[in-house]
Structure 1
Amino acid sequence: MFIDKYPQFTAGRVLKGEMLSLLRDYPRDYLNILYGEYADGVIAGCGLTVTGDTVAIAPGIVRCRERLYTLRQSMALPYTATGQDAIIKISFNRRKENDDYILRSGEVAIHSGLKINDGEMELGRFKLKKGARLRDIYQDFADMATEYDTVNIINVPYAVPYENTLSPLITRRFAQEALRSRPVHPFDYVFISHCAQGEPVSRSLITAYTAARLGIVTQDSTNQDMHRHLVRILQDIRQGKDMVTATGRGGGRRILVD
């Protein structure tokens, strides 16, 4: 049966273990039910900000292997210019247990290369030339994929039900630039309205929109593929090309295998 049970802490009553257990379990049960069908990825927060010679990670929540992990305070990681790929990622540790606690944790660090092992999650990447400064401000939507000297968040998995998807910062930026160009097709406005809300947009919706808008069939699109397709669509919108023009290029539908 459905219940709503909360302990009463009143003067003269004996503090029972069950009462404390209710306080312990309720928030965990609530969050586990709320995010139980979400894929692994960032639930909220965890944005990156460049300050001097450090990259600051904002407080946030991530989900990994059906567990929620919380970063309660922002943390700063020093970075160096190597001219090589570097990745900011969480490495989740094995469970530790003692008489008082069960601890599951994830260590955040900057690693060379772009390899993601099992039990790791990306929060961003960059390739910084020696003598250059790292930046987290983008000139436009396409600039978010710039290879050098730029914080790249395209590959960060954001959690939504049943799958992960692009950062809402990316889809919201797409919406902002698309609206400035006044798209001509109602189909665009429907998708853009989802993006403009600032919430993660499901991968299935993004891929369905890009396939219909570009007249292509995509298979297993990566985050980079989705961003690249949205860049192409934004170019079409700026040039005033509607869906009929877009799908007519090349004489019909095309299949892109990424």
Structure 2
Amino acid sequence: MCKNSTEIRSCMQYYKKPIFAKGRIVKKESLDLLNEFPEKLISTTWNSFSDGILYGCAIEYTAQTLIVCEGACIYQGEVVLIEREEIPFLDFDRQVVVKLVFHDWEKTEDFMIRPVELKIDDTVFSANYEMELGRFFLSKGAELRKQYQTMEDCRTAYNTLDVTHVPYAGHNHGTLSPVVFKLYARLLLESSFLDEIDYSFCFLCLNQERMERETVLTYFSCVLGKPCWEFTNNQIYETLVQFVRHRAEKKVKQVTGIRKEPKVL
């Protein structure tokens, strides 16, 4: 209800919260409010986000069983909840890619259902109805490693989970896994020759749940002194690798210079 006058301009809204109590009849309006609330909340929160992983969906491996943990992702603008799944895994000694496959909606009398299939294959390129969760090459008897020592370590050929290709949801544009950015921050903060912008970016990586693509590419443009707006996810990862490597080389040169003995004239 809105009021307009020369003195007052205001609009009143009424937020309704249904009450369920013993002895009261459940009203259709109350059930409609419960039905609409999560949908409106999700739409308001994530309507500007790209398709990709929101939370969770982590991959684990134990006792010849592949585990995909529960999580949430955005597909075609809608939030889809993923339940924990355990499947036998015997695809050793070859690269495999773990994906979610989104099928078309199915309608019943009571529900709209979107089947989501967990798929493991050797196709590195995902179709537009697929979403990668990670890839690896596992040797029989080995453990699937998820701890990384260097940026290059994220793409170690054998027995290491590679998450650098996983699309993560972000405002308007997708981004990379927070695992990649947090690793970058920890490694860079161990180096020397950091500028203020490096420190700021690293602290953002460590404190935020996700690094927005615009933030990352703005950082790259400032450091490199040229526009980087068209970088793909692969180029973003490779640039982070180069930045850490460049700082490490500078540190080695500095240490070598300090320890160098003076020449005898």
Report the TM-score when normalising by structure 2. Answer: 0.82
Query: Aligned pairs, how many?
Result: 240
SS in 1 for 2:118: strand
Q: Aligned equivalents of 2:22 and 2:140: distance in 1? A: 66
Q: Which residue of 2 aligns with 1:162?
A: 172
SS in 1 for 2:157: coil
Q: Decide whether the 8 Å contact of 1:79 with 1:110 is kept in 2.
A: no
Residues 77, 110 of structure 1: 8 Å contact kept: no
Tell me which of 42, 47, 71 is aligned to 1:36: 47
What displacement does 1:32 show? 1.4
| Aligned 1:10-29 pairs, distance under 5 A | 10-29=21-40
Please identify which structure carries the higher strand content: 1
Secondary structure of 1:165's match? coil
1:116-195 to structure 2, matched below 5 A, reads: 116-129=126-139, 133-195=143-205
Q: 1:114 aligns with which of 106, 110, 124?
A: 124
Amino acid at match of 2:89: Y
How far the C-alpha of 1:66 sits from its partner, in A, is 1.2
Partner of residue 258, structure 2: none
1-structure distance, mates of 2:43, 2:192: 41
Larger radius of gyration: 2
Q: Percent identity?
A: 29
What code does the residue aligned with 1:115 have?
F
Residue type at the aligned position of 1:28:
E
User: What 5-or-longer segments of structure 2 have no aligned partner?
Assistant: 1-11, 252-265
Q: Determine helix, strand or coil for the equivalent of 1:122.
A: strand
Opposite residue 118 of structure 1, the aligned amino acid is N
| TM-score normalized with structure 1 length | 0.84
Cα RMSD for the two superposed structures: 2.2
- Give CA deviations for 1:109-164 in whole Å, capped at 9, x if unaligned: 21122131121111111233567553323232220022333211101111111011
Query: How far apart in 2 are the matches of 1:220 and 1:130?
Result: 40
Q: Which residue of 2 aligns with 1:246?
A: none
**Per the alignment, in what secondary structure is the counterpart of residue 113 of structure 1?**
coil
Q: CA distance change for structure 1 residues 136 and 54 in 2, over 3 Å: closer, same or farther?
A: farther
